[in-house]
């Protein structure tokens, strides 16, 4: 079955440590997205990529980095510069065409040790 | 500024008690409004896309409608398994930004026996 796989499901970060969240899709979608979800807030866009080897900052990109070397993969690194990383991180993908919905993975919950 | 507001924040219904969730938006040049369902600890699951005012979509006990300023998600004779958080999202106007979405904070629905 086609879908989006995020790993790990739970992740713990130590102070000063960078951690990388994995996102893989087999839907043949061109566009991929990373969101952060905090209690009581809507999903906030961190980064997005419309094609391989290209990506743009979203609304809250500070303290995060991404790469898009393959169509299927869009890993997110939470750097030590992100001072409040505890959140639920969601990856999504969609076709590039207008009106197409985004489809989501089941998220990674990141906590501070 | 593009905004999406959902109400109520939380809703408790008895099984079989029909109701509606609201999503109001202030977006220039709406290019699609999306409804999602999110279960605890999971990623959002796509429900509907609405393209233009007057449009309606149905799926089982759910019916989504769209006007020029808001969308409603009507739930008819809900069952406990309909309990979830329902998210509304709008695609930003203009050609740039691909399929970037702005999300509301969601309505947490609980259906009791």
DSSP annotation of B15:
T
The residue-averaged pLDDT of B91-107 equals: 78
- DSSP states of B91-105: EPSSSTTTT-EEE--
The CA-CA-CA angle for residues A9, A11, A13, to 5°, reads 165
CA distance B68 to chain A (A): 17
* A29 contact residues in B (CB cutoff 8 A): none
How far, rounded to the nearest angstrom, does the alpha carbon of residue A33 sit from its chain's CA centroid?
Answer: 6
Shortest CA gap B99–chain A (Å): 6
Residues 6-65 of A with CB under 8 A from B: 6, 31, 33, 35, 40-45, 48, 50, 58
% of chain B with per-residue pLDDT over 90: 78
Paired with A25 in beta bridges are: A4
Nearest chain B alpha carbon to A89: B43
What is the pLDDT averaged over residues B62-91?
96
Which class for B107: exposed (0-12), middle (13-18), buried (19 or more C-beta within 10 A)?
buried
Q: Does A68 touch chain B if contact means CB atoms closer than 8 Å? A: no
By Cβ distance, the residue of B51, B100, B105 closest to A45 is B100
CA distance A35 to chain B (A): 10
Q: Chain A within 8 Å of B98 (Cβ-Cβ)? A: yes
Model pLDDT, residue A112: 87
Give the mean pLDDT of B65-86: 96
**Per residue in B17-71, pLDDT tens?**
999 999 999 877 778 999 999 999 999 999 999 989 999 999 999 999 999 899 9
Token output for B106: 């969601």
Q: Is the pLDDT of residue A100 over 90?
A: no
Q: Collapsing DSSP states into helix, strand and coil, what is residue B80?
A: helix
Write out pLDDT tens, residues A5-29. 999 999 998 888 999 999 999 999 9
Pairs of residues, one from chain A and one from chain B, whose beta carbons lie less than 8 Å apart: 66
Band (pLDDT 50/70/90 cuts) for residue A2 is confident
Distance separating alpha carbons of residues B101 and B33, to the nearest angstrom: 9
Full 3-state SS string of chain A? CCCEEEECCEEEECCCCCEEEEEEECCCCCEEEEEEECCCCCCEEEEEEEECCEEEECCCCCCEEECCCECCECCEEECCCCCCCCEEEEEEEECCCCCCCCEECCCEEEEEC
pLDDT of residue B94: 58
Average pLDDT over residues A18-42: 95
Identify the band that residue B3 occupies on the pLDDT scale cut at 50, 70 and 90.
Answer: confident
pLDDT at B6: 97
A-chain CB neighbours of B43 within 8 Å are: 4, 6, 90, 92, 104-107
Q: For chain A, what is the radius of gyration of the CA atoms?
A: 13
pLDDT, greater one: B98 or B85: B85
Q: Average pLDDT, stretch B98-109?
A: 89
Q: Closest Cα to residue A45, out of B9, B42, B54, B97?
A: B97
**Chain B: nearest CA to A16, how far in angstroms?**
27
Between A112 and A10, whose confidence is greater?
Answer: A10
Whether A42 sits inside 8 A of B100 (CB atoms) is no
- Across chain B, mean pLDDT equals 92
């Amino acid at each position: 079955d086609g879908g989006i796989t995020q790993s790990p499901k739970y992740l713990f970060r130590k102070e000063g440590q960078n951690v990388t969240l994995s996102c893989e899709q087999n839907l043949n979608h061109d566009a991929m997205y990373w969101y952060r979800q905090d209690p009581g807030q809507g999903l906030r866009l961190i980064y997005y990529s419309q094609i391989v080897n290209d990506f743009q900052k979203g609304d809250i990109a500070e303290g995060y980095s991404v790469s898009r070397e393959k169509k299927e993969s869009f890993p997110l690194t939470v750097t030590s510069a992100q001072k409040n990383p505890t959140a639920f991180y969601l990856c999504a993908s969609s076709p590039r065409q207008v009106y197409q919905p985004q489809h989501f993975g089941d998220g990674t919950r990141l906590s501070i040790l | 500024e593009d905004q999406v507001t959902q109400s109520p924040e939380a809703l408790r219904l008895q099984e079989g008690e029909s109701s509606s969730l609201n999503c109001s938006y202030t977006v220039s040049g709406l290019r699609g409004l999306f409804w999602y369902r999110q279960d605890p600890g999971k990623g959002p699951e796509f429900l509907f896309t609405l393209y233009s005012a007057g449009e309606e979509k149905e799926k089982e006990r759910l019916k989504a409608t769209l006007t020029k300023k808001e969308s409603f998600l009507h739930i008819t004779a809900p069952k406990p398994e309909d309990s979830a958080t329902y998210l509304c999202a709008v695609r930003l106007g203009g050609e740039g930004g691909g399929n970037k979405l702005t999300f509301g904070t969601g309505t947490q629905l609980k259906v009791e026996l």
